[in-house]
C-alpha cells in the first residue's frame, strides 16, 4: 500500500474556515482570546445544509475573520495560534448506534465528501430512499492511516461500508476499485469477510453490480472498472456501476444510490470506534517540491506549511494548484488552508505553466474522439463562447463530466472545458433566477381583484 507520512510539525498559525463544504457557512462558537482543545467544536451548523467544524489543534483563538480559501473566495475563519500541549476533547465512541443516531453524529463530526456534500445529506437525502451505497475508490484520494498489511486496509473499508449502509438504511453496498489498482485488488480478492470470500468482480459489458449481488448471493461486493475522471462524474458513475439513469438535474439519490469516498468512509469508521471528529486529511503533494509525498495533515494548515514539510519548493514556483492539474483550482495565495475538500497540491515551474494563445478551431475532432460521454465539445464550446446557451442545452451540455480531456488534446489550445463550465453555470443561474410568480405589478384574475 502507498506510504503515508504524518506532518509532525505544528505551524505557528492555523486558519480553519467555517465553510468546508457546499452549503451554508457555520456560525462561530468561539471568539478572540478563548483557548480551544483538539477536536473541540468551533463552528455550529445553522441548517441541515452544512457540517460542523472542529479545531484540529490546541491553542488560543487569535481572531475570527474572513481569510483566503482554496475556492478563491474569502470565508469567515477561526484563526488559532497553536500551543505545544495537545489537550483533546473527551471523544466518545458510537458503537451500536442506530441509524438516526449515526446520521446525527456524522453531521456533528463534520464528515464531508471530497466533492463538498456533507456526508449526512448523501446518506439521508430529503425525499429519497437509499437502497445501495457505493464507495468510490477509483479517485486519487487516500485514507489517513498506515496499515500493517493490505488485508487490514481491506477489512476496515468493508467495515466502513457496512456502517455507511446502516446509516443510509441501504440493503446493498459495493466498493468500486480501478482496474489498474493492483494493490487494492490484491488486498480485497480472496479476503474472508463475514463468513464469505470476497471476489473482486470486473464491471464488463452490461454486467453491473446487480448481477454480482445475485451471482455471489451477498449484500456486499467489491467490483472494479476503468478509471472515471472528472469534476461531475456522479450520473455517469451511477449508470456505469448500477445501470440506473439519473434524471436530468437530479442526484444519484433520486435513483436510490449514495456515493461516498474512501476518506469519508474512513472518517466514519474512526468516529464510530474512537469518537474522533473530522480534523485531519491526507494530501498528495507533487510537482516542483524537494520531497513529493502523501502527507497526513491537520485541517487548517496552510499550503505553504505543507510544502515546507515536503522539503520546500524546488526552484522558483510559478503556479500552485489544488485538486488536480486539469480540473483543479489555481491558488492566488500560498497561505490558503487545507480543508476537508483538499486532496492534492501541485506545484508547477514556469516551463510547465501553459501560456499558449488560443487559435480558431480547425475541426480536427480530437475532442470528440476523447469525450467519454460522446458529446461534441468543440461545437458546444463555440456556442458557449457566443452566449447561445439554449443551443448548448439542446446539445446535452449537462452530460459533460468535466474531465478536461477535450482541452488537453486541442491543438488550437482552445479552453474547451472552461467554456463548457461557463455555459453550465450560466444555464444553472438562469434557472435559479426564473421567477415562479407573476410580476409584482401584475395580478392574476379579473380586474375586480378576485382570484
Tell me the three cell numbers of residue 81: 495560534
- Residues pairing with 283 in the sheet: 295
Q: Residue 94: what pLDDT? A: 86
pLDDT at 6 over 70: yes
CA gap 186, 202 in Å, rounded: 13
Cα distance between residue 335 and residue 68, in whole Å: 7
What tens digit of pLDDT does each residue of 348-375 get? 998 888 777 889 999 999 999 999 889 9
Looking at per-residue pLDDT, the higher value among 327 and 111 belongs to 111
**What pLDDT does residue 1 have?**
57
- As beta bridge partners, residue 68 has 74
**259, 280: one domain:** no
The annotated binding site for [4Fe-4S] cluster is made up of 361, 364, 367, 371, 400, 403, 406, 410
Number of domains in the chain: 3
With 70 as the cut, is the pLDDT of residue 175 above it?
A: yes
Q: Are residues 67 and 208 in the same domain?
A: no
The mean pLDDT value of the chain amounts to: 89
> Per the structure block, which three cell numbers stand in for 302?
496552510
Q: Are 116 and 265 part of one and the same domain?
A: yes
Q: Which of 216-225, 331-340, 348-357, 358-367 has the lowest mean pLDDT?
A: 348-357
Domain boundary among 274, 308, 331: 274
**Whether residue 87 is found in the same domain as residue 128:** no
Are 130 and 248 part of one and the same domain?
Answer: yes
Domain match, 260 and 301 both = no
Residue 324 has pLDDT above 80, yes or no: yes
Give the C-alpha separation, 109 to 269, whole Å: 12
Q: What does the alpha-carbon distance between residue 292 and residue 286 come to, in Å, rounded to a whole number?
A: 5
Residue 54: HSE in the Cβ half-sphere, 13 Å Cα cutoff: 24
Binding positions are 361, 364, 367, 371, 400, 403, 406, 410
Q: What is the pLDDT of residue 132?
A: 97
> Any idea what the Cα angle at residue 441 is, between residues 439 and 447, rounded to 5°?
110
pLDDT tier at 135 (50, 70, 90 boundaries)?
A: very high
Question: What's the pLDDT band for 234 if we cut at 50, 70, 90?
Answer: confident
Expressed as residue numbers, the domain containing 343 is 7-91+276-348
Which has the closest alpha carbon to 144: 246, 282, 15, 10? 282
- What is d(CA 243, CA 208) in angstroms, rounded to the nearest whole number? 6
Going through 288-376 in order, the beta strands assigned E by DSSP cover 293-298, 319-322, 329-330, 344-348
pTM, entire model: 0.86
The domain spanning residue 156 has which CATH number?
Answer: 3.40.50
Q: Say yes or no to pLDDT of 251 above 50.
A: yes
Q: Give a yes or no: residue 283 inside a domain.
A: yes
Q: How far apart are CA 244 and CA 223, in angstroms?
A: 16
* pLDDT > 70 in the chain, percent: 93
> Is 445 inside a domain boundary?
no
Amino acid at each position: 500500500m502507498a506510504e503515508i507520512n504524518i506532518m509532525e510539525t505544528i505551524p505557528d498559525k492555523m486558519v480553519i474556515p467555517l465553510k468546508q463544504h457546499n452549503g451554508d457557512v457555520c456560525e462561530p462558537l468561539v471568539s478572540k482570546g478563548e483557548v480551544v482543545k483538539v477536536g473541540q467544536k468551533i463552528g455550529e451548523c445553522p441548517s441541515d445544509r452544512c457540517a460542523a467544524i472542529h479545531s484540529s489543534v490546541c491553542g488560543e483563538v487569535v481572531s475570527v475573520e474572513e481569510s483566503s480559501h482554496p475556492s478563491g473566495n474569502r470565508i469567515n475563519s477561526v484563526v488559532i495560534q497553536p500551543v505545544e500541549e495537545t489537550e483533546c476533547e473527551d471523544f466518545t465512541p458510537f458503537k451500536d448506534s442506530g441509524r438516526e443516531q449515526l446520521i446525527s453524529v456524522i453531521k456533528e463530526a463534520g464528515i464531508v465528501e471530497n466533492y463538498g456534500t456533507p456526508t449526512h445529506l448523501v446518506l439521508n437525502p430529503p425525499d429519497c430512499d437509499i437502497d445501495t451505497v457505493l464507495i468510490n475508490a477509483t479517485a486519487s484520494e487516500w485514507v489517513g492511516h498506515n496499515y500493517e498489511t493490505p488485508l487490514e486496509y481491506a477489512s476496515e473499508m468493508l467495515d466502513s461500508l457496512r456502517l455507511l449502509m446502516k446509516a443510509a438504511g441501504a440493503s446493498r453496498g459495493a466498493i468500486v476499485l480501478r482496474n489498474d489498482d493492483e494493490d487494492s485488488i490484491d488486498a480485497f480478492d480472496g479476503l474472508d469477510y463475514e463468513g464469505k470470500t470476497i471476489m473482486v468482480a470486473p464491471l464488463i459489458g452490461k454486467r453491473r453490480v446487480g448481477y454480482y449481488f445475485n451471482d455471489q448471493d451477498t449484500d456486499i461486493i467489491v467490483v472494479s472498472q476503468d478509471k472515471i475522471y472528472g469534476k461531475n462524474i456522479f450520473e455517469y458513475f451511477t449508470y456505469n456501476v448500477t445501470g440506473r439513469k439519473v434524471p436530468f438535474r437530479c442526484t444519484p439519490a433520486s435513483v436510490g444510490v449514495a456515493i461516498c469516498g474512501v476518506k469519508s468512509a474512513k472518517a466514519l469508521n474512526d468516529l464510530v470506534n474512537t469518537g474522533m471528529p473530522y480534523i485531519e486529511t491526507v494530501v498528495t503533494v507533487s510537482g516542483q517540491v524537494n520531497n513529493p509525498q502523501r502527507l497526513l495533515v491537520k485541517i487548517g494548515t496552510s499550503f505553504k506549511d505543507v510544502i515546507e514539510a515536503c522539503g520546500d519548493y524546488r526552484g522558483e514556483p510559478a503556479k500552485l494548484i489544488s485538486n488536480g492539474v486539469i480540473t483543479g483550482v489555481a491558488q492566488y495565495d500560498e497561505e490558503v488552508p487545507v480543508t476537508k475538500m483538499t486532496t492534492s497540491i501541485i506545484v508547477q515551474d514556469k516551463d510547465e505553466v501553459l501560456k499558449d494563445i488560443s487559435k480558431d478551431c480547425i475541426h480536427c475532432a480530437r475532442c470528440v474522439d476523447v469525450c467519454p460521454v460522446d458529446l461534441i465539445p468543440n461545437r458546444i464550446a463555440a456556442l458557449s463562447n457566443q452566449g447561445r446557451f439554449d443551443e448548448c442545452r439542446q446539445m446535452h451540455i449537462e452530460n459533460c463530466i468535466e474531465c478536461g480531456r477535450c482541452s488537453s488534446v486541442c491543438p488550437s489550445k482552445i479552453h474547451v472545458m472552461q467554456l463548457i463550465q461557463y455555459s453550465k453555470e450560466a444555464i444553472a443561474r438562469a434557472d435559479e433566477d426564473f421567477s415562479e410568480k407573476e410580476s409584482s405589478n401584475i395580478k392574476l384574475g379579473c380586474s375586480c381583484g378576485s382570484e
